[in-house]
Structure formats: structure tokens, C-alpha cells
Amino acid sequence: MYFAEVIFHIYMQKILAFLFILSSVTLMAQENKIPQTEKFDFKNLDAYIQILPSIQRVEGKVDYTFDVLAQEDTLRIDGRNMEFIDVFLDEQPVEFYSDEHRIYILFDFLPAKNKKLTFNYEVKPTSGMYFINWDLSQNEEAKKQVWTQGQGKYTSTWLPSFDDMTEKVEFDLSFEFPRDYQLIANGALKTVKETDSTRIWKFDMTVPMSSYLVGMAAGNYKSKRLTSSSGDEIQLYYNPEDSLLFEPTYRYSVEIFDFLEQEIGMPYPWQNYKQVPVMDFLHGGMENTGATIFSASFLTDSIGFKDRNYVNVNAHELAHQWFGNLVTATNGKHHWLHEGFATYYALLAEKAIFGEDYYYWKLYETAEKLKELSDSGKGESLMNPKASSLTFYQKGAWALHILRERVGDEAFRNGIKNYLKLYSFRNVETDNFIAEMEKASGMDLSQYVKDWLEQSAFKATQSLESLRKSEFIVNYLNIAALRETSLEQKFQFLEDALDFPVNDYIGQEAVNQLAGLQSESAFKLYKKAFETNNIFVRQAIALTMKKIPESLKPEFESLLQDESYLSIEAALFKLWEQFPAERKKYLEETRNLEGFYNKNIRMLWLTLNLVTPEFEPNHTQDYYEELAGYTAAWQPFQLRENAFSYLYQLGAFNPESLESLIKGTRHHIYGFRNYCRELLNELLKNEEYRQQLVEISENMTAEETSYLRSKINR
Ligand SMILES: [Zn+2]
């Protein structure tokens, strides 16, 4: 059936897209500016920042303290598209001018200590600070938030600061924000004062950091405080309506904190630690100093936790508090000193939680990807400032894994400790790190540097040697080697692989090799795989089995009871498709399930209902409205995208969803914006939709409809 096939395609594509979003916590390297750090040393910024979310505007007053190190006639502070007024140097009016990038102070500066520069500024940030759902026409249910992203964007889009990572400043920031909301920023919260309509949040930091690590988030939040074994405060935020998701989302937070302090061998370097989920975030997470912001799409219940959880990103952003925040690369060439380290230490934390097989499995997976890139001639040196995130993150982690094997645990940990101590609150290059490792190990690491840091090809043979230290990997590779072998010849091996206690990954591999096979011996193995009761092995069946044989129908139906939203989504669709007589039963059984953050099961369920009108004929309209309602512009983009896909397959856009689609073509999330643009292009091929889109756009703003107009030439 055409419709069913298309739905299945779309749903597989979505799973792939979903995994891709998960793995691409892409952060661009900072742009390199002409350094003025040799002439001036900025020490402290005291700023008062009023955020006016209803008009998406920021008004602030900054008070910079700095030393002049050498004679100079111009001082620059980055501030994009800002208006500057009341500019004073040591309380005297001073000559200045500004362009779209920054303010220039013109003065005959001579070496001196503790100079003071103050000014007021106003700006309407176009990036760097994001205003979610503040348009007045919004629905009551819409989450109103403001949050920032400084890396890959610029903090100087909303706060006069430095686009250069080597200028480290102690930031003491106060924010004024509408009083109904909570506000989170770097440092210790000193006071909260209330005015008639606002609250003033005063934060304090005691040590310096780079500007890209300044961050704030505001919204309707509650929080819980936990304490690490060493006594550090960990404050975890959540939206009140998500209280049941708090525990599974933040599961292992204290364990991760304790593990990293122990493993790194240096105490957590900042006053406190906070984490806050935000809607429509640009990345997986961002390690603002002491105040990690992460994507609300990581919110999960205990069932979803098994398939995808926040543990990796939780550990990754925390590891950055040492690697990146405390010790910062001078420029993008050394970006792996941030991302490779955060990836490696997150993997170590996961190893402590999920076990050694997990650790080696992740290394194996990334080695496969890196080898593929390398074999296609596109391998990248770790020190290429334009390298992909695969290189910075995964090749970086591999480089540290190999280095630790070379120098041994003790030297590795000593080298790390010395490196962090020596360069705390300073900037580093790769050579600085290698020097500490050579000192700690007494080894000459020049060959290692060539092989792992400089060379663009991936050292696949060395990696394989390392992976083979894991007995699990050896066993896995033995099974994976049978992919091209006939079932008769490998039957016994696959059967043994499914013996109790089955290994998650090896069991999955055995099942994957059965895909498309319709023989009695394949069914026998499937039956054994079902009986392992291993959730991941059963998931592999749900995802890869094509035609469900009558003899395994009861087993396949039991997948609807599994604690895996991936299994249930795949099983529901396949059962609905292949056993039309029993559609009512399957829909009844899955009636109350939502699934992941993007409501994967709920939306599939609604769609299947709409094309099974005999199930509940009186509810068709309700179900349609619920599905179309998920496209609303105030909904998280992950829900909108999922709902758009289903409406497209149903050929059933209503005016509201078309309006939301037009708005989506201007969304700040690149992937979603492109998705909306491509879908809009498709709809424009249909004359009826085309006319509707044109009519709807007449009541929308020029900005919202700019993409549509570029496509219809009017
Ligand atoms: Zn990172």
C-alpha cells in the first residue's frame, strides 16, 4: 500500500535525523581577532543588563576595570550593532566611535593600573540571545524563555565583551527581567530584588573566564539542589510540568560530578554548578561556566532513558568546566583541547556508569566512522581549525585514549593534573599539553604527535589493536565477520551468540544478520532472540524484521509491551500494516503512550487512527486537531517537524499549520528551517496549497514571509 510505505520511509528518516541531531553537538571555533591583550588587561566587568523580552531588546550599563600594559591610542570592546551612550573613562567623557562590530575608545593610553571605563548601551540582538514565544499572540501553554549561546555565536551580540578567547575577565552580572520568571547565569546568586514588574538578579564570580562562556537563561523554572561528595552545590532546573521527568533526565548527575573530580584529580574549579534545559536550543548542550544550558529534547522518562538519555551530554559539559573553561585554547587550531577532552572524559564517566563494554563499543563505533572518512581521503588533522566535529570530538577522544595506553594511567593522570594546575585561568596550545605529558611520563611523544594530532589519516590499525584488548570487541568482530556468510553456515554461531546471558551489542548484531530472511532456521533464531528478553536485542527485531511470520506473530505483538519507545513505534507500525484485521487491538493497546520528547508514538498513533476511521469514527476530528496542533509555532521544533511530516503524508494541512510552516522557514535552528523550506517548496507544487499559502501570507509580516515570497516572486 503506497500510503503505508511512505509513512514507513518517513518514519525511518525521522529516526535517522533524530540520531543525527543527537550526535552533532557542533560548536564552531571562535573567530580570531587581532589581539589587543598585549596592550590592555581587562580584569573585571560589572554589568547591569535589563532584558525586555516583549520587544526583544537589551539595555545595559557596563563598568570595566582594566590595566594599560603599553602605550596605545585605541581601545576596542566588541559589541555588535549596539548603540553606545554616556561613555566615560575614569569618570571623564571620552572620545569614541562605533561600527557594527564594536566600540573604539580614542585616548592616549599610558601604562597604568585599574582604569575604569563605563558606558550605557542598547541592542536588539539578532543572534546570541534568543527570545522564545514572546510574541503577544501566543497561546497560554507556550513556554516563554530567553536564553543565550556564546560559542559559535558571539556574546557581544547582547553584552559588550570580547570575541577573543584569550581575553579572560571576571564577569559580575546583574539582570533585570520580568518578575514572573526565574533567571540563571554564571556565578553565585547574591541577591534578588523585586520591582513592580521585574526582578533584579545579582550574580557574582570570583575568577576570570573567556566571554564565550557567559550565559543566561530565563523561564518558568523550579530547581532542586544536590551536593557532590566534595560539598559542591549542583542546582538542577526543570519546568514545573516536567517534574516527573526530573529524576530520569538528571539521573547520575552527582555520580558524574564525583567521578570527574576524582578522575581529573583537581577539584571542580567554580563556585557552583547549575544545569537548565531550554526549548529550541541550537545544540545538545553548552558549557557556560558553572551554568550549563542544554536542549529540552533530552528530557526523558525512565522508559525513554534506555534508548536516549542526557548522561553523555551531562558529563561532556561538566568536563568542559576544566577543559575549555578553566584552561582555554588560544584559538580554533587547538579546539580539540576542549572537545576531544570533554568527549573523552564523558566516555570515561559513562564507562563508570554503564560498564566497560559500553566504553569499547562507543570507541568502536567512532573508529568505524573515522576510518570511513579517512579511507575516502577526507581524514582531517586534529589541529585543523576547520575540521569537522567528528574530528574534534571523536578523533580527539581517540587520541587521548591512545595516549593513556602509551604513557600508562599514572603518568596520564599526573600529566593532566599538572597541565590543569599550570594553566588555570590561562590559555594554552597543544604543545603545552604535550610538554606536560612528556614530563609526567619521561617519554618522547613526537611520533605520537605526528600519528594522532598532525596526520590527517586515521590510524585504523593502531585503533584496532587497542580495541582488541576488549574480549567483548573480539567476540563482536567474530560475529560481525559473518555478515556475508550463508545462514546454514553460520547458524550455530548466531545461536550461540543469543545464549544467556546475551550481550546487548552482539545480540543485536546477530538479529541484524537475519533481516529479510524467511526460512525456518531464521525463524528459530528470531524466536530465541525474542526469548532473551533483552530490550536491545528485541529492539533490533522490531527495527529490522521485514515480514512478520504467522508463527512469530504473538512474540512480535509482545514488543508493544517493551520498555522501549523505539521498539513500540516500529512494532506498532509494522503490526498495523501487516495485520489489518487486528488494527483496533493494536491501537487500543498503545492508546496512552506519548514516546520521546517529539511524541513519536503519539503522533504515529494519531496518524494511524486517521487512516483507520472504523476504529473510532466519532473522534476523527479530535485526533486530526491534536495532530495539526503539534505544528503550532509555539511548540518545540522537534514536535512541529514530526507533525508536519505526518500532515504531509496525509495531505491534510490546515491554515494554522500552513502559517506555522511559513514561520518555520525563518526559524533559528538551521536544520528545522531547511526542513520547512523544502517542505514548503513541495507544497507550492500543488495549486490548491499554493493559493492557500499566498492568502495566509497576506496577513503575515514581511519578515515572516520573506522566504515564501522569494519562491512565488511577488
Ligand atoms: Zn563540547
Domains, the chain, in order of start with CATH, read 35-218 (2.60.40.1730), 221-321 (1.10.390.10), 327-468 (1.10.390.10), 470-546 (no CATH)
Rounded CA gap, 22 and 297, in Å?
9
Q: How far is the CA of 338 from the centre of ligand 1 (A)?
A: 7
Q: How far is the CA of 378 from the centre of ligand 1 (A)?
A: 23
Q: How far is the CA of 335 from the centre of ligand 1 (A)?
A: 10
Q: How far is the CA of 257 from the centre of ligand 1 (A)?
A: 16
Q: How far is the CA of 212 from the centre of ligand 1 (A)?
A: 13
Q: How far is the CA of 537 from the centre of ligand 1 (A)?
A: 31
Q: How far is the CA of 603 from the centre of ligand 1 (A)?
A: 32
Q: What is the DSSP string of 27-64?
A: -PPPPP----TTTEEEEEEEEEEEEEGGGTEEEEEEEE
Rounded CA gap, 452 and 16, in Å?
30
Phi, psi of 195 (to 5 degrees): -110, -170
Q: How far is the CA of 317 from the centre of ligand 1 (A)?
A: 6
Rounded CA gap, 40 and 160, in Å?
16
Q: How far is the CA of 151 from the centre of ligand 1 (A)?
A: 10
Q: How far is the CA of 207 from the centre of ligand 1 (A)?
A: 21
Q: How far is the CA of 709 from the centre of ligand 1 (A)?
A: 38
SS3 128: coil
Q: How far is the CA of 165 from the centre of ligand 1 (A)?
A: 15
Q: Whole-angstrom distance between the N-terminal and C-terminal Cα of the chain?
A: 39
pLDDT of residue 28: 35
Q: How far is the CA of 318 from the centre of ligand 1 (A)?
A: 9
Rounded CA gap, 297 and 388, in Å?
23
Pure H helices in 228-355? 246-250, 253-264, 302-307, 311-320, 336-354
For residue 501, is the peptide bond before it cis, meaning its omega torsion is within 30 degrees of 0?
Answer: yes
Side-by-side strand order, sheet with 129-132 = 129-132, 145-148, 216-219, 182-185
Q: How far is the CA of 191 from the centre of ligand 1 (A)?
A: 31
Side-by-side strand order, sheet with 102-109 = 72-78, 102-109, 95-98
Rounded CA gap, 393 and 403, in Å?
15
Q: How far is the CA of 380 from the centre of ligand 1 (A)?
A: 18
Q: How far is the CA of 345 from the centre of ligand 1 (A)?
A: 11
Question: Residue 698 to residues 136, 138, 210, 673, 693: CA-CA distances in angstroms?
Answer: 19, 19, 45, 21, 9
Q: How far is the CA of 324 from the centre of ligand 1 (A)?
A: 9
Q: How far is the CA of 505 from the centre of ligand 1 (A)?
A: 27
Q: How far is the CA of 580 from the centre of ligand 1 (A)?
A: 47
Q: How far is the CA of 311 from the centre of ligand 1 (A)?
A: 14
Q: How far is the CA of 540 from the centre of ligand 1 (A)?
A: 30
Q: How far is the CA of 412 from the centre of ligand 1 (A)?
A: 21
Q: How far is the CA of 287 from the centre of ligand 1 (A)?
A: 7
Judge whether 280 and 217 are in contact, CB under 8 Å: no
Q: How far is the CA of 64 from the centre of ligand 1 (A)?
A: 29
Q: How far is the CA of 315 from the centre of ligand 1 (A)?
A: 10
Record the pTM: 0.93
Q: How far is the CA of 182 from the centre of ligand 1 (A)?
A: 26
Angle value at C-alpha 313, between 307 and 318, nearest 5 degrees: 145
- Average pLDDT per run of 10 along the chain, which is 714 residues long? 38 44 38 71 98 97 97 96 98 97 97 98 97 82 95 96 97 97 98 97 98 98 98 98 97 98 98 98 98 98 96 98 98 97 98 98 98 96 96 98 98 98 98 98 98 97 97 97 97 97 97 96 98 97 97 98 98 97 96 97 97 89 97 97 98 97 97 98 96 96 95 76
Q: How far is the CA of 280 from the centre of ligand 1 (A)?
A: 18
Q: How far is the CA of 395 from the centre of ligand 1 (A)?
A: 13
Question: Residue 297 to residues 22, 24, 119, 390: CA-CA distances in angstroms?
Answer: 9, 14, 39, 21
Q: How far is the CA of 599 from the centre of ligand 1 (A)?
A: 27
Q: How far is the CA of 393 from the centre of ligand 1 (A)?
A: 8
Rounded CA gap, 8 and 608, in Å?
12
Q: How far is the CA of 439 from the centre of ligand 1 (A)?
A: 27
Closest CA to 277 of 504, 597, 623: 597
Q: How far is the CA of 291 from the centre of ligand 1 (A)?
A: 14
